Chains A and B, each alone.
Chain A
């Protein structure tokens, strides 16, 4: 019953009918994504109890990025949407990455100088 409604809705989306201007995400996909997100949350929490040294941050960010991708693709419809919307989002993330990367490069570059100053201040 549910499936047939979904089918009808996606078929509607194909013709230019007024009522459906966008793809309807199948209910099973939504529940699967939710399940995956919860599992990934459990993984991040579990992983935080192990010490990977400098990789701690990267593991946490990696899992968060996978979760972000899932949310963006399915909950936010990017997978079914006009690709231009995905492009806008990806460009936004890329510029954020550029912003963070250049700032961090600068910060790391000055770190020895700061340490020298702190040692001197003591």
Chain B
């Protein structure tokens, strides 16, 4: 049943997927996986820098987070968490299907995973758009200069935007949100202080979720590539390694979101 072993003990030539510089499919697989895990660790450390910035900010300026939390919708965050966890499950099932040579279910699970990735981005878009509308963007972004004019012209606070000028957060919107949160009327100085807090929070929020969203976009790209290969029938149990490695990447993206969700959306 098994292909005959080579004299050297390896399986040379027994698999069309075995590169000549590897002893056996096992060694080839282990090497690929080792490399992937090392890459994942660099990703953890890469995100670690931003988590560190978060920690330092939260320790030094708790008010930034106390004020900022009113501007995120926990329901949307929870929805995205559920979407990503579900997509992790379907990715794990895709890996399993690939290992067992179940080509139809492999295609199905990959398609569902891809769809979940897109759904995650869709929800993220809704959230980002809400911030963008009220000029709640990181730092003193001068994007208006590049895009010609600010988004949504005609409302009072945005009339002041001219090319090259910095974004000004929508203070009316901020006042409304803070009133909802139980700060009915704020003096000018108090409001300016809180606007600055919210600006800092939005900066941290966009950097963390933006880098994560970039990873989701890359993930969607490689899952789409896998899906095309799966539809063409290129993936079978003997070369399921790409599915496995993409799966590991996708789970890491999920893991990072598992931390981002409580750290950004669930501050009270």
Contacts and interface: CB of A to CB of B under 8 A. Distances in A.
B262 A27 contact: no
A45 interface: yes
A107 B30 contact: no
Contacts of B56: 103-104, 107
Interface residues of B, number: 59
Contact of B51 (A72, A100, A107): A100
Contact of A89 (B37, B259, B261): B37
Interface in B1-58: 2-3, 5, 11, 14-15, 24-26, 29-30, 33-34, 37-38, 40-41, 44-45, 48, 51-52, 55-56, 58
Contacts of B44: 92-93, 96
A30 B240 CA distance: 18
A114 B60 contact: yes
Contact of B26 (A16, A92, A114): A16
B25 A18 contact: yes
Interface of A: 5, 9, 15-22, 24-25, 27, 30-31, 33-34, 37-38, 41, 44-45, 48-49, 51, 56-57, 60-61, 63-64, 67-68, 71-72, 74-77, 81-82, 84-85, 88-89, 91-93, 95-96, 99-100, 103-104, 107-108, 111, 114
Query: By DSSP majority rule, is chain A's interface helix, strand, loop, or mixed?
Result: helix
Contact of B88 (A5, A75, A100): A75
Contacts of A108: 59
Given A71-B258, A85-B34, A92-B44, A27 B52 contact: no
Interface stretch (B119-127, B160-168, B213-221, B247-255): B247-255
B266 A104 contact: no
B9 to A, nearest CB: 9
B238 interface: yes
A17 B58 CA distance: 53
Contacts of A31: 89
A31 B78 CA distance: 20
